[in-house]
Copies of this chain bind each other. A is one copy, B any other.
Amino acid sequence: MVTLPLPVLRRLPTYLLLLTEDRAAGRDYVSSTDWAGRLGATPIQVRKDLAWTGAVGTPKKGFAVTDLETKIRECLGTDARRDVFLVGTGALGRCLAGHPSLGRHGFSVVATFDPAGRCAAGADPSVLPWEKLPELARRMGISVAILAVEPSLAQKTAERLAAAGIRSLWNLTGQTLALPPAVAVLEEDWGARLATLITQTAG
């Protein structure tokens, strides 16, 4: 399968949400014209995007809801469930890792680790010892982790995750990471996100 352009990839999840609405409304077919209207986009763009997924529509009717959903999910890799590690025990990490939206997209947090290593009495028993991670990652075939440790530990922890075979890292620490290109990192910096939103309006 050809790899889709990143802009297309980013729009697919939105289409998935529209699809859910349409299915809830009892529709069997959806049209690019209709979606474009709802999204404020052009029908051409919607159709071009859907073409990337391999979905084929029928003139006058549109795209079959069930087929389209399968196709989009295949592209997003959410046809199979994805098991994920949570690394760090802060409130933010727990909030995001436990968010229902992750489940909806096929993700499941199977274990939590704490590199800060509070293994003293009273420690949360659901948090696994940090040393166990490489072994478990290998045995369970985990390649995705949510990094939510405190900033000062970010780089070092990330390196050890990379060494443990983690290939996709959702970096919530706000600390820029330097990792080998084999590891895909999604950096989150909340203030920066909000800042770019503002400038869109101001401009």
- CB A48 to nearest CB in B, in angstroms, measures 18
A95: Cβ under 8 A from any B Cβ: yes
Nearest-neighbor residue (CB-CB) of A182 within chain B: B201
A197: Cβ under 8 A from any B Cβ: yes
Pick from B13, B170, B196, B203: contact of A189, CB below 8 A.
B13
Task: Give CA–CA (A196, B96) in the complex, Å.
Answer: 16
Q: Are B197 and A107 in contact (CB-based, < 8 A)?
A: no
A78: Cβ under 8 A from any B Cβ: yes
Task: Give CA–CA (A146, B190) in the complex, Å.
Answer: 12
Q: Are B176 and A200 in contact (CB-based, < 8 A)?
A: no
Chain A residues close to B by CB (< 8 Å): 3-4, 6, 9-10, 12-14, 16-18, 38, 40, 75-78, 82, 84, 91-92, 95-96, 99-107, 143-144, 146, 167-168, 170, 174, 176, 178, 181, 184, 186-187, 189-203
Would you list the 3 A-B pairs with minimal beta carbon distance, nearest first?
A105-B191, A13-B192, A3-B203
Subset of 5 A-B contacts with CB under 8 Å? A13-B191, A13-B195, A99-B191, A144-B197, A167-B201
